[in-house]
Structure 1
Amino acid sequence: MNKTRILKRSLLAVAVAATTSQAHAAGFQLNAQSATGIGRAFAGDAVIADNASSMARNPATMALFDKTSLSLGFEAIITDISVKDAQGFSQDAGGYVPLPGYDDVGGTSIAPNIHLIVPVNDKFAWGVNAYSNFGTSTDFSGSDYWNNSAFGGETDILSMNIGLSGSYRLNEQWSFGAGLDIIYGKGTIRRGAQELNLPPAVQLVNIQDADGWGVGFNVGTVYELNENNRFGLSYRYSPEIEAEDDHGQKLTLPLPDMAEFSGYHRINETAFAVHYSVQWIGWSAFDKIDFENLDPTRSLAGIPDGTYSKPYEWQDGWHFAIGGTWYLNDKVTLRTGYMHDTSAQDEITSISVPDSDRNWISAGATYHFSDDSNMDFGITYLIGSDEAVSEEGGAVLATTRADAILVGLQYSHSF
């Protein structure tokens, strides 16, 4: 293959197929349900049920509430993504030539959330919520080369999960829950077509403000040994999202299913509790992305029939989290946590998706204004690793790294 002139079909496949870049979990998963979860690396979140946001991880936890409970807050995601040691193969030069690095790919995104749980009686409860499970934002506009290349450009993806759930308490030990998820997705994807030895010339793809809807569901259960020891198990089905922009350009994005097991144990009525979670994320569903009806006036990819499918072949991912909570007094609760998060990428890697195994270091606190009102704060430092990336069989090589800081603030009230 002539590696100097990268074929336009291949450029489109590599640069656009992963429509999102790493935000702060493997693949393009967000953990943006609550500031409480951020403060403990989401360890035990499918069973702790210390505020209404727990319904986002396990609908069965709604059975643990005896009052109407409201939580609302936001998460700030500050990403630090870099590309270094980049080089491209040039047949004219008889080998690899240096390409510019870039250390300012990431940015700051805000993800709001709201959760409401309403107990009907001692058996039934219902709830509604809105938050995000997937999304990211990256922009190479600060670099002349990467901004206009097929491996950089701009990616701005957001999603909103609107949920309606119900729970049923079978007895003192067992509770069950289920919910319906309406998922809205919106995104902008812009990629240039700069080749290794040529200035910016054409635009490979320019999809702006494409949006679409999908429907998923979630189920869960909670088992209580007693009020200080309980376990939770949940499963979430995620649909494919088909998004279309105003020019009729479409992309179909498969989303992963998720399953989570959590435990919570308050030790001998003391002020300390330990909690943990294991989460599976079915990223192997992200096998390809389909593109349809690419507008030749906006995308010069040279695809005759206007359709394209690119295999991506990710692997399933895992989260392993453990945390601790200290109930200092009636006013203050402190928490901390650690999570190991495995990469979704397998053999196929990408500069526009700088994925790797990650480690979370988290801390947080709750201040109780009263028995029914409190404020949560959480912060996480997410540590990535340097990963060697090869694009299009070695046409472009680079080392990528993605770190992040997550900050969350949340207010909760019971009525």
Structure 2
Amino acid sequence: MNKTRLFKRSLLAVTVTLATQQAMAAGFQLNAQSATGLGRAFAGDAVIADNASVMARNPAAMALFDKMELSLGFESITTMIEVKDASYGTQAGSFPVGDTDDVGSTSVAPNIHLVVPVNDKFAWGVNAYTNFGTKTEFSDNYTATEYGGLTDVKSFNFGLAGSYRVNDQLSFGAGLDLIYGQGTMKRTAGAAFGSFKGASVINVDKADGWAVGFNLGTVYELDENNRFGFGYHYSPEFEAEDDYGQKITLPLPDIAEFSGFHKIEDTSFAVHYSVQWIGWSAFDKIDFENLNSSRSPLGAQLAASNGGVYSKDYKWQDGWHYSLGGTYYLNRDWTLRAGYMYDTSAQDSVTSISVPDSDRQWFSAGFTYAIDDASNVDFGFTYLLGKDINVKEKTSASSVTATTHADAILVGLQYSRSF
């Protein structure tokens, strides 16, 4: 229980604080389920079902397979983050902070999916993929240390799902998500805190734990070339406690997605699209309780003056993804795809230099090469373009203003086989 709470707390703080730029979707959501989806900006991913990875978006889509399907691969995420034109404010006045462009890093997110049809009605599947993944580290001599620091989080989703085909048109699915995570978050006080300069505000190290969520979905097929899919994911509220009794709570967003797929008759071309809602308005604040005075002396003092709780406000808003893609079936060996996504920011009135969130554009392309009739390799590439955001943060003793910008390059490779 202690480790579970610790993780949730660490994951909460860690992901909230900086997962945005590493996960490279609004908030700290990570799209890393498949290289195939990456190559089309995940347009239509809740219903296309060109390999087993579709179960991560919509469990009902497993009903579209008549053979056992296996997909495994990885996605690399390289973030390019700038924090510039920063000014650090104290009671003694304001002074500039040096620009930094080395806050981001490269991370790798693996995935594996297996779908097993039982008969023409039932199918089941298991999968594992990364749903959060970030590491951002400001240098130790960064002036506004209480706004920077270290954030490092990884989480893995282990899923078990089933589908049922009602008739030729309609299918349903449901599944459980077992989420494991590890996280570290460290923040220290800057010069504005006087004698507390350098004192730890938050110091959660190597937290880990588990949580449980679920997912539901449906597929409606007009015919073999036209179908629609809807998937819903319930995300749990993470609560964690470390070895020192420090507690933290992180509310995660529910996600709903509608997708369509249409292969144009008598052609080799298909168009597909998705609209996804992410309930980030549930993420209003992070609460830290029982902060240990030896681990987080300043945080413990701040919490003591507020009923034992140290809170960080976020007040995020619901987010949306709008994606459109196309697939060209060139010949028996090659399938080409491309897509575009517009991804809206989760941040509203409250912004942060450690979470340089903004509206983002995804420019994606990819291909499938068929090795033989039963196996293929997928490659996906996305350039993610963010916007400059003017940020202002403050604490009881200091403030910081800056301009943040986050871009990213995402590359995915995947092997799939039917049996």
Q: TM-score range by the shorter chain?
A: over 0.9
Task: Show the counterpart of 1:409.
Answer: 413
| CA deviation after TM superposition for structure 1 residue 190, in Å | 0.7
Range 388-397 or range 123-132, more displaced: 388-397
- The aligned amino acid for 1:152 is G
| CA deviation after TM superposition for structure 1 residue 136, in Å | 1.6
| CA deviation after TM superposition for structure 1 residue 205, in Å | 1.5
- The aligned amino acid for 1:186 is Q
Counterparts of 1:63-82 in structure 2, within 5 Å, are 63-82=63-82
Q: Secondary structure at the match of 2:294?
A: coil
Q: Is the 8 A contact 2:19 2:135 kept in 1?
A: yes
Which runs of no fewer than 5 residues in structure 1 stay unpaired? 1-14
Task: Show the counterpart of 2:277.
Answer: 280
| CA deviation after TM superposition for structure 1 residue 17, in Å | 9.2
| RMSD, aligned CA | 1.8
| CA deviation after TM superposition for structure 1 residue 381, in Å | 0.3
1:362-385, Cα deviation, whole Å (9 max, x unpaired): 000111011110000001000001
Counterparts of 1:309-388 in structure 2, within 5 Å, are 309-388=311-390
Q: Secondary structure at the match of 1:74?
A: strand
Tell me how far apart the structure 1 counterparts of residues 178 and 17 of structure 2 sit (CA, whole Å).
Answer: 20
Q: Is the 8 A contact 1:339 1:361 kept in 2?
A: yes
1:342-380, Cα deviation, whole Å (9 max, x unpaired): 000010111111000000000001110111100000010
| CA deviation after TM superposition for structure 1 residue 144, in Å | 1.3
Task: Show the counterpart of 1:137.
Answer: 135
Q: Is the 8 A contact 2:46 2:230 kept in 1?
A: yes
Counterparts of 1:15-414 in structure 2, within 5 Å, are 18-22=16-20, 23=22, 24-93=24-93, 96-141=94-139, 144-146=141-143, 149-196=145-192, 201-300=198-297, 301=299, 302=301, 303-304=303-304, 306-392=308-394, 395-414=399-418
| CA deviation after TM superposition for structure 1 residue 155, in Å | 0.2
1:160-183, Cα deviation, whole Å (9 max, x unpaired): 111100000011100110001111
Tell me how far apart the structure 2 counterparts of residues 272 and 54 of structure 1 sit (CA, whole Å).
Answer: 20
CA shift in 2, pair 1:196/1:145, >3 Å: farther
Q: Secondary structure at the match of 1:55?
A: helix
Q: Is the 8 A contact 2:81 2:103 kept in 1?
A: yes
Tell me how far apart the structure 1 counterparts of residues 377 and 240 of structure 2 sit (CA, whole Å).
Answer: 37
Q: Is the 8 A contact 2:281 2:315 kept in 1?
A: yes
Q: Secondary structure at the match of 1:37?
A: helix
Q: Secondary structure at the match of 1:134?
A: strand
1:291-322, Cα deviation, whole Å (9 max, x unpaired): 12211111012132653233321000000000
| CA deviation after TM superposition for structure 1 residue 91, in Å | 4.0
State how many pairs are aligned: 397
Tell me how far apart the structure 1 counterparts of residues 164 and 117 of structure 2 sit (CA, whole Å).
Answer: 10
| CA deviation after TM superposition for structure 1 residue 246, in Å | 2.8
Range 201-210 or range 48-57, more displaced: 201-210
Q: Secondary structure at the match of 1:150?
A: helix
Tell me how far apart the structure 2 counterparts of residues 326 and 208 of structure 1 sit (CA, whole Å).
Answer: 48
Q: Secondary structure at the match of 1:54?
A: helix
Q: Secondary structure at the match of 1:132?
A: strand
Q: Is the 8 A contact 1:140 1:152 kept in 2?
A: yes
Range 83-92 or range 330-339, more displaced: 83-92
| CA deviation after TM superposition for structure 1 residue 184, in Å | 1.4
Range 200-209 or range 378-387, more displaced: 200-209
Range 20-29 or range 366-375, more displaced: 20-29
Tell me how far apart the structure 2 counterparts of residues 16 and 192 of structure 1 sit (CA, whole Å).
Answer: 15
| CA deviation after TM superposition for structure 1 residue 198, in Å | 6.3
Q: Secondary structure at the match of 2:37?
A: helix
Q: Secondary structure at the match of 2:131?
A: coil
Tell me how far apart the structure 2 counterparts of residues 32 and 166 of structure 1 sit (CA, whole Å).
Answer: 22
Tell me how far apart the structure 2 counterparts of residues 212 and 275 of structure 1 sit (CA, whole Å).
Answer: 37
Range 50-59 or range 157-166, more displaced: 157-166
Q: Is the 8 A contact 2:356 2:405 kept in 1?
A: yes
Q: Is the 8 A contact 1:17 1:312 kept in 2?
A: no
Q: Report the identity percentage.
A: 68
| CA deviation after TM superposition for structure 1 residue 214, in Å | 1.2
